[in-house]
Amino acid sequence: MTVPAPPGAPTEAPAVCAAVLATLLPHRRTLDTGGHDDTPDAFPAQLRQLAAPVAANEPIVFTLPGFPCKSPNPAKVLGHLPDEGERLALRFLDGLCGRIAALHPPGARMVICSDGHVFSDLIQVPDRDIDAYADALRALIHDEGLTRLEVFDLRDVYGQELSHDAKRSLVHERHAPPLELLRSQTRGDEPTRRLYQGITKFLFEDSASFAGTRSARQRSCRRRAYGVMQRSRAWGELIEAHHPGAFRLSIHPQPRGSAKFGIRLLDAPDVWMTPWHSCVLEHTDGRRELLHRADAERLGRPVLRRGRPSHFTAG
């Protein structure tokens, strides 16, 4: 049975696809100059990803790798559990799906592909902290009534029986690209080079407790950055295998022409910043911004939610 379109909604499939993409464009995460003036026709790959579910009058499925765990750097975050940053980001994603449902009545759902266990040995976060974060993330989605969101992780790929180390080994051995290929792409491809530099920066910041020299710490971070990129590609393959035909979102900046669409979750002064590498400062005008904890502490006072640190408020 065909679901009738609401009054004022576009009725032709190409128009629906363009309208859905136009809903996403204001939130695009990009390093492109003038990227926020783009129109849907600048993203043919994304229009193609939308075409099949729209033409079939089926729900649009978005996949978003991310929400892995909190940064281990206490100067960035309030702790190892989700806080106001994740709450606001999840509400934004659920609301985005709701706005898309007004254009495409079968609706949309967001699969959050939580990847903490994919990288935990490389980002040096204990698996127990990642378990606690993932469990709290699911509870937060339930408690907030965010019915358009679901969480997908390595348990959905390899079950509960294998150890985290065994699952990571399978991911890497079966799906990771060769290291030399990534090194070559980093040298010759600007978006790949920027991604490598961004990941290296995060790893360096999050390795504040490194016991060796600064140069040794830099070498370690550069080596681990390639490992993160390998696992990220591998995780992407697994996501695509389990969610074929989904619209591929990314928390990293993506150039025009990429198969993935970068999306901002909240306002931040750094295009790479995410809720799990920062905390929220609520300004006196109600605007919320992601900042590192050390910066937010200077500008505001802490706020508790259910007895735990949640965010900071200015004034």
* Confidence label for 6 from pLDDT (cuts 50, 70 and 90): low
Mean pLDDT score, 277-281: 95
Beta-bridge mates of residue 281? 289, 312
Mean pLDDT score, 63-76: 95
What does pTM read for this prediction? 0.91
| Confidence check: pLDDT of 1 > 50 | no
Whether the Cβ atoms of residue 23 and residue 43 lie closer than 8 Å to each other: no
